Amino acid sequence: MDPPLISSNMKKQILVLFGVVCAALLSSCQQSTSLGAYDAYNLPASKPSKPSNVRVKVSTSNQMAYVMEGNKALLVMPLSVGTSSTPTPKGNFTIYSKQEYRRAQTHGYFDHGQGKYTGGYRRNKPAGTKFIGTPMPYWSEFKSGYGFHTGWMKPHPCTHGCLRMHHNVAPKFFALIKEGTPVNIAHSQPEDATIGRNIPRPPDASPLPDFSNAYLATNKIYKRHKKPSFN
């Protein structure tokens, strides 16, 4: 089998991106990761010629997703995957639900009124408050309770089993897949040794403070990303 293809234009864009991310990191080298450096991250993507032929392959060991059309890579993106105690499920799945503005049903924020918000699990909702779920933008569900969605990216497994995407890349992934797109999740993928090498990861979001509960309870969080573009 021939190795997966990645266009020369995409290679150039990845190299440019790498330089931009490095410059952003160097500009803040005297301090922990800055939000500006994190927000500078982006990746190139290509539109498919036949959307019905698109499939997704995920490598949990390389924390990488490969959106493929046949032997051509449309998008190669780092992910954050589940921890050893809450692993990302492995096997063959199908995307069966897509929600751009999804919110969690079990955890989030309690609106006490007058601009006061607290966080917690819905089961502990204080009387007289309004529950607003944790934002999970660009939700793409492949197994009940498990999906791809925007979230803070870290260089190590850190999720409860879902697959987190960077906020600038998530809308591209969302546009490339559809309900019915097949997904294979395994410990490794053949692409790890070829197109999955040397893909720059976003800066570690661990040092960054989270946004305020008041901000996360609004729909502004869904529009933080750069406008998606495709080759």
Per-residue pLDDT in tens (0 to 9) along the chain, 231 residues: 566 776 666 666 655 555 555 544 444 443 457 999 999 999 999 999 999 999 999 999 999 999 999 999 999 999 999 999 999 999 999 999 999 999 999 999 999 999 999 999 999 999 999 999 999 999 999 999 999 999 999 999 999 999 999 999 999 999 999 999 999 999 999 999 999 999 999 999 999 999 999 999 999 999 999 999 999
The answer to whether position 98 is within a domain reads yes
**Sequence-ordered list of residues with C-beta below 8 angstroms from that of 13, at least 6 positions apart, any chain:** 43, 44, 231
Return the H-helix or E-strand segment holding 68: strand 64-69
The answer to whether position 119 is within a domain reads no
The answer to whether position 124 is within a domain reads no
CATH number assigned to the domain comprising residue 96? 2.40.440.10
- Find the domain containing 199 and state its range: 8-102+137-223
The answer to whether position 42 is within a domain reads yes
pLDDT, position 17? 58
The answer to whether position 122 is within a domain reads no
| 81 CB-side CA count, 13 A | 19
Q: How many domains does the chain have?
A: 1
pLDDT, position 44? 97
Q: Is 163 helix (H, G, I), strand (E, B) or coil?
A: strand
